[in-house]
Chain A
Amino acid sequence: MLEQQLLNALTLGSVYALFALGFTLVFGVLAVINLSHGAIFMVGSYAALWLVSHLDAPLWLAMLGAMLLSGTLGLLVDVLILKPLRARNAPHLTPMIATIGVGIMLTSAAQGMFGAEVLRFPEETLPAGEFIVGGVHVRALEIAIVAIAFILMAVLFTALKRTQLGRALRAIAESPKAASLLGINVEGLFHVTSFVAAALGGIAGVLIGLDFNAITPQMGQPMLHKGLAVIILGGMGDIRGALIGGLFLGFAEVISKAYLSSQMGDAVAFGLLFLILLVRPSGLFGRVLERKA
Chain B
Amino acid sequence: MEWFNDFWSTYSTLVFSVGVHALLALSIWLTLSCGLLSLANAAFMGIGAYVSALLTLQLGWSFPLVLLTGGIAPAVVALLIGAPVLRLSGVYLAMATLAFGEVVRITVLNLEITGGPEGLNGIPLETEGWHIAALLALTIYGLARLRRSKVGRAFEAIKEDEVAARLMGINVDRYKLLAFTLGSFIAGVAGALNAHFTFFISPREYGFEAAVDILTMAVLGGISSLIGPLLGSSIITLLPELLRSLHDYRSFVNGAVLVLVVLFLPKGLWDPRRFRKWFGKAKGAEA
Contact = CB atoms under 8 A, between A and B. Distances in A.
B175 interface: no
A101 B100 contact: no
Interface stretch (A51-59, A90-98, A141-149): A90-98
Contact of A96 (B91, B208, B259, B263): B91
Contacts of B85: 277-278
27 contacts: A85-B263, A88-B266, A90-B262, A92-B91, A93-B90, A96-B94, A97-B215, A98-B258, A100-B255, A102-B259, A103-B255, A104-B212, A104-B254, A104-B255, A107-B251, A108-B251, A108-B252, A109-B252, A221-B208, A225-B98, A225-B99, A228-B95, A229-B99, A232-B95, A267-B106, A273-B96, A281-B87
Interface residues of B, number: 41
B252 A101 contact: no
Contacts of A97: 215, 219, 258, 262
A243 B89 CA distance: 25
A101 B259 contact: yes
A263 B216 CA distance: 30
Contacts of A293: 163
B88 A277 contact: yes
A274 B99 contact: yes
A127 interface: no
A7 B175 CA distance: 49
A33 interface: yes
B103 interface: yes
B136 interface: no
A111 interface: yes
Interface residues of A, number: 44
B110 interface: yes
A293 B208 CA distance: 32
Contact of A93 (B91, B107, B249, B263): B91
Nearest to A274: B99
A112 interface: yes
A81 interface: yes
A277 B255 contact: no
Contact of B259 (A81, A92, A108, A221): A81
A225 B102 contact: yes
B95 A273 contact: yes
Contacts of B102: 225, 267, 270
Given A105-B252, A267-B107, A277-B96, 5 more contacts: A102-B255, A104-B251, A107-B251, A221-B208, A274-B96
Contacts of B107: 267
B79 interface: no
4 smallest A-B Cβ distances: which pairs?
A101-B258, A104-B255, A105-B255, A108-B252
B18 to A, nearest CB: 21
B249 to A, nearest CB: 5
Given A225-B208, A277-B92, A90 B248 contact: no
A107 B254 CA distance: 12
B236 interface: no
Contact of A263 (B110, B212, B252, B266): B110
Contacts of A109: 249, 252
Nearest to A101: B258
A271 B163 CA distance: 31
Nearest to B212: A100
A105 B219 contact: no
B91 A84 contact: no
Contacts of B258: 97-98, 100-101, 104
Contacts of A263: 106, 109-110
B257 interface: yes
Contacts of A267: 102-103, 106-107, 110
B159 to A, nearest CB: 11
A94 B262 contact: yes
Nearest to B91: A33
A266 interface: yes
B37 interface: yes
A101 B215 contact: no
A105 B259 contact: yes
Contacts of A278: 84-85, 96
B147 interface: no
Interface in B228-260: 248-252, 254-259
A98 B266 CA distance: 11
Nearest to B96: A277
Contacts of A271: 103
A221 B212 CA distance: 12
Q: Which of B96, B99, B212, B256 has the most CB of A within 10 A?
A: B99
